[in-house]
Amino acid sequence: MLWSSSRVMNNLAYRLTTFLVTIYIRITCRIDAPEMHKFPMKGPLIVISNHTGQIEVPALFALLQPRKFTGWAKIETWDNWFLNWVFNVWGIIPIRRGEADTSALRKAMEALDKEMIFGIAPEGTRNKTGRLLRAYPGAVLLAVRSGVPILPVAHWGGEVYMKNLKRIKRTDFHLRVGERFRLKVDGVRMSKEVRQQIADEMMYRVAELMPQEYRGAYEKAPEGMGTFTETIKTQS
């Protein structure tokens, strides 16, 4: 009985925070996201995207409802009482950066086993200018271990969100969705160099969805593009 009551309260808290965040996003942003239909309505999925760190996570939460969405966030974020509460309600997974956090990886695999969407920012840190940073090779591990489809998502405009908020000005937030792809890594030895090449291929799929001025480290396709990734063909 206590477990059932706790579950009901958690569901109510989840719905309430999602509702409030959705309203907040709509008030503070003009959302331009015409390709949300490319998100499958069921099945495990890894979403990779750039990371400006201000608005993309709550925006995706709002836009993807009712699909369950989670991801990693640096463990230091839980020091903030508000984010601690929201992230726990949403089921965000804390990760210790700079070390092999096997607990965070295990929880991510469990989320995918439950057919959730799992978000990864291969840049590994917040991008303050909007121009893409070089991806870290560690972003590849979950994709290789799970073998689930990967969907590239790009966004821009959010890098000026806080500046606009201080001026009581709405932010034009643009979001584009690419085509699902999978990794081709059977029999491949996962050296650090190989993982970096895979991360670069993955990140370029995000870059090609963005205006040229935002592509930064991925203005040009990385050498060997297509060696480790292939687009999933959809049935007509």
Answer positive or negative: Cα dihedral of 202, 208, 213, 217.
Answer: positive
Most confident of 78-82, 135-139, 206-210: 206-210
- End-to-end distance of the chain based on CA atoms, in angstroms? 48
pLDDT on residue 2: 46
pLDDT at 3 over 60: no
Average pLDDT, integer, range 81-101: 86
CB contact set of 76 (below 8 Å; sequence gap of 6+): none
pLDDT on residue 178: 97
Average pLDDT, integer, range 84-90: 88
pLDDT on residue 97: 78
Using a pLDDT cut of 70, give the percent of the chain over it: 95
Q: Are 216 and 133 in contact (CB under 8 A)?
A: yes
- Looking at the DSSP bridge assignments, the partners of residue 120 are 48
pLDDT per position as a tens digit, 153-192: 999 999 999 999 999 999 999 999 999 999 999 989 999 9
Q: Where are the domains of the chain?
A: 2-231
2-231 topology per CATH: Glycerol-3-phosphate (1)-acyltransferase (3.40.1130)
Instruction: Give Cα separations from 108 to 33, 64, 135, 234 (angstroms).
Output: 26, 18, 19, 26
Mutual angle of helices 56-64 and 2-28, in 10-degree steps? 110
pLDDT on residue 9: 63
Q: What's this model's pTM, rounded to 2 decimal places? A: 0.92
Average pLDDT, integer, range 47-76: 90
Average pLDDT, integer, range 88-116: 90
pLDDT on residue 203: 96
pLDDT at 14 over 80: yes
Average pLDDT, the chain: 90
